[in-house]
């Protein structure tokens, strides 16, 4: 039985601005999601999703003729999944035309972490069905697509949305100070789709897009932790001013000595922080138990 795998993702720079064509630094995570499919002679597609603790958290059954939902325990999950399957059928008319089967997906990370339970799902479905993942994304969750690029990347990438489609470049981002970089989960999942829709209503000048790209280049080029921290602080101020949100260090961690940077949609999921061996204890003492080092998190 073939198995498909996709990496989770983190957007390190140009959050929000990547939607307007800014260059963004994105990294695949070590943890991801797998998908197995076993065909049978039924006229349905049965779906099971298992979490990082090997617990079944979602199931559904779909009619093969149109992928309408026959049964499910979570309608809010089944509906967008049905939409993805219907989009597959548009790209590939013979998809599951002669037989049904059973899909099992297995997450390696907590689905509340915001590491890409949706993007890894779309990537795995695209691999399984030999379809274009970016078209599947456009017809379902939407977004810039950087997360799909990370799903099959071998390492850090520079991602840019263009009128001709996504531009993806491999990036040598392995900072000599990576032992000083940590990722902290803020104990709440952010609805990135809502954040994206709000941002799309804003008018953004081409000058600001260029500024965001320049900050991405600067973070990649930083060779010392001091330089890196200064650029992170500048980046936080820049994005904060655009979206009208106070940077997370000012709102939550004023007494933390290192830099703190929001990742992806501001207000939840993970932040990137700089520090030393005592950094995990600082956050754990304040009620944030999930603190991962750079090499624990990043592929």
CB burial of residue 66 (10 Å; 0-12, 13-18, 19+):
exposed
Q: How would you write the pLDDT of the chain (299 residues) with one tens digit per residue?
A: 679 999 999 999 999 999 999 999 999 999 999 999 999 999 999 999 999 999 999 999 999 999 999 999 999 999 999 999 999 999 999 999 889 999 999 999 999 999 999 999 999 999 999 999 999 998 888 788 999 999 999 999 999 998 888 999 999 898 999 999 999 999 987 677 777 777 877 889 999 999 999 999 999 999 999 999 999 999 999 999 999 999 999 999 999 999 999 998 887 789 999 999 999 999 999 999 999 999 999 97
Cα(284)–Cα(287) distance, integer angstroms:
5
DSSP per position, 38-65? EEES-SEEEEEEE-TTS-EEEEEEEETT
- Statement: the pTM of the whole predicted model exceeds 0.85: yes
Q: Considering Cα of 187, then 188, then 192, then 198, what sign does the dihedral take?
A: negative
Question: Measuring CA to CA, which residue among 125, 146, 143 is closest to residue 8?
Answer: 146
Q: Which fold has domain 178-297?
A: Alpha-Beta Plaits (3.30.70)
Mapping DSSP to helix (H, G, I), strand (E, B) and coil, where does residue 291 land? strand
- 3-170 CATH: 3.30.230.10
Query: Where does residue 177 rank: exposed (0-12), middle (13-18), buried (19+ CB within 10 A)?
Result: middle
In the chain, where does DSSP find H-type helix? 75-91, 117-129, 133-138, 146-151, 192-200, 206-221, 225-243, 248-252, 279-285, 294-297
Each domain of the chain, given as residue ranges in start order, spans: 3-170, 178-297
């Amino acid at each position: 039985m073939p198995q498909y795998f996709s990496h989770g993702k983190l957007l390190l720079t140009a959050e929000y601005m990547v939607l307007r064509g800014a260059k963004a630094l994105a990294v695949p995570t070590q943890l991801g999601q797998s998908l197995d499919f076993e065909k049978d002679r039924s006229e349905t597609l049965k779906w099971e999703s298992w979490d990082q603790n090997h617990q079944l958290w979602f199931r559904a059954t779909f009619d093969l003729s149109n992928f309408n939902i026959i049964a499910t325990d979570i309608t809010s999950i089944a509906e967008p999944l049905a939409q993805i399957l219907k989009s597959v059928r548009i790209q590939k008319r013979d998809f599951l035309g002669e037989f049904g089967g059973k899909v099992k997906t297995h997450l390696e990370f907590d689905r509340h972490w915001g590491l890409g339970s949706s993007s890894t799902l779309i990537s795995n479905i695209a691999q399984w069905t030999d379809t274009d993942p970016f078209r599947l994304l456009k017809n379902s969750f939407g977004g810039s697509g950087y997360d799909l690029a990370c799903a099959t990347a071998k390492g850090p990438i520079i991602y840019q949305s263009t009128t001709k489609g996504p531009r993806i470049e491999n990036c040598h981002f392995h900072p000599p100070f990576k032992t000083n970089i940590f990722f902290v989960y803020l104990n709440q999942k952010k609805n990135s789709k809502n954040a994206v829709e709000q941002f799309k209503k804003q008018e953004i000048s081409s000058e600001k897009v260029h500024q965001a790209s320049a900050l991405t280049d600067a973070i990649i080029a930083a060779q010392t932790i001091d330089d890196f921290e200064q650029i992170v602080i500048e980046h936080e101020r820049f994005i904060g001013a655009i979206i009208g949100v106070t940077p997370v260090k000012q709102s939550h961690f004023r007494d933390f000595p290192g830099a703190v940077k929001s990742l992806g949609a501001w207000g939840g999921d993970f932040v990137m922080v700089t520090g030393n061996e005592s950094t995990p204890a600082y956050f754990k003492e304040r009620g944030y138990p999930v603190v991962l080092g750079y090499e624990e998190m990043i592929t």
